[in-house]
Structure 1
Amino acid sequence: MSSAPSSSPSSSSSLSPSTSVLIVDDQPMQRFGFRMLLESQDDLRVAGEAGTGTEAVVLASQLRPDVVLMDIRMPGMDGIEATRRIVSAWSGAGDGPRILILTTFDMDEYAYAGLRAGASGFLIKDALPEELLAGIRAVAAGDAIVAPALTRRLLDAYVHRLPAAPGAPAAPDPRIASLTDREREILTVIAQGWSNAEIAERLHLAESTVKTHVSRILAKTGARDRVQAVIVAYDAKLVEPA
């Protein structure tokens, strides 16, 4: 019988803001390892721990962490469904927790399902400690931590295996219809794996202009971050799997 999740926050410095993290994993030793790593950082603190998806949904609502470090395979409610429920609970209510999916393999179809459910990115469970810490900080800052080329590779490999998103609007997608021609062009190349620097160079734009376009694309499509914008592009058939 697994022990009850710990929801008591760890101490943090009052001199600087800290990012709160909810650790979700069904393996107690895995949670312990994550906790030790996070507590070694001055700018990160552990908000709590959950051993199941159900516990994760409850604690995310109670503790309102900045980031949820989410395992996928857990007994009962898995990490995909827990991600979907956490994101849905915050829909229209301002910024909610950012979900960072942890997966065993970098070409795991569950990772794509997690991104579609509303996660801001994913990492491999055997990532180096500095990679995990950098990922948590990036997600907390509103960035997607999946490299553009890896995003494309993942989507190309698995998008055709998964059913359409429930309730997905039929073409033409109104999220795309609201974009200008330039914004549609930029969304398309984002989904093809181009970085902001590559977009600026190839389309002869200032990188600051590209960032402005990306911000407008996110606002118009309702995407929380770059990865979610790629999901929109695939759902709207702007880009097809290779």
Structure 2
Amino acid sequence: MTTLTRPLLVTLVDDYDVVLTGLAHMFDDYRDRILVSEIDANAVLHDAIDIVLYDSFAQPESDHEEIAELVANPQARHVVVYTWNFQPELVQAALDEGVHGYLSKTLPAKELVEALEAVAAGEVVVIEPKRRAASAAGLDWPGRREGITDRESEILALITQGKSNAEVATLTYLSPNTVKSYIRSVYRKIGAESRTQAVLWGVGHGFTPDHHRIDHWLGGP
């Protein structure tokens, strides 16, 4: 087991800037233990990173190409998946690909930091939610200020990307009826009466991926 005497350098990976910003701010009170940078999942790592934290928001979780690329990168010492989706097959597939952690978005900042430190010390850490709880305080996602929940936001993001209800159900491991229920709820909150209106609203409110990344941010080297 390795014990570091310096803060961990943690890189955040997600295609949505608002998601990255919210996640980064969770570490604001722990800058003596965590230094944050961020990259595009397809970018080249120029520094040795202690942990790459892969946020799965609106990502096709059945397609693990990005995770596999991160695990294969010799400059990423450890890769951790950060998600609320804990279907056993997803967890096992990620572990089989070589990830070093699979962590729930319900973890408070203190417990998230402790889990990342355990990963950096050489442990494989899997922490799933005890129940379907709210996301950890401090996280952000598109539409939150309009009253859209984290799960509704993910579904609207997938719809904005052109996914059908059946594809959304497959990617989120939800039943078709549950997906329809979420969509109806989103429509009410944004005042949409059709899928086209919902997509247009999504495009105008941050629900399309942004691949632009700032390599070093919030105190990272």
Greater RCO (Cα-Cα under 8 Å, separation 6 or more) = 2
State the structure with more CA Rg: 1
Would you tell me which structure has more helix in proportion to its own residues?
1
TM-score grouping bracket, smaller chain normalisation: 0.3 to 0.5
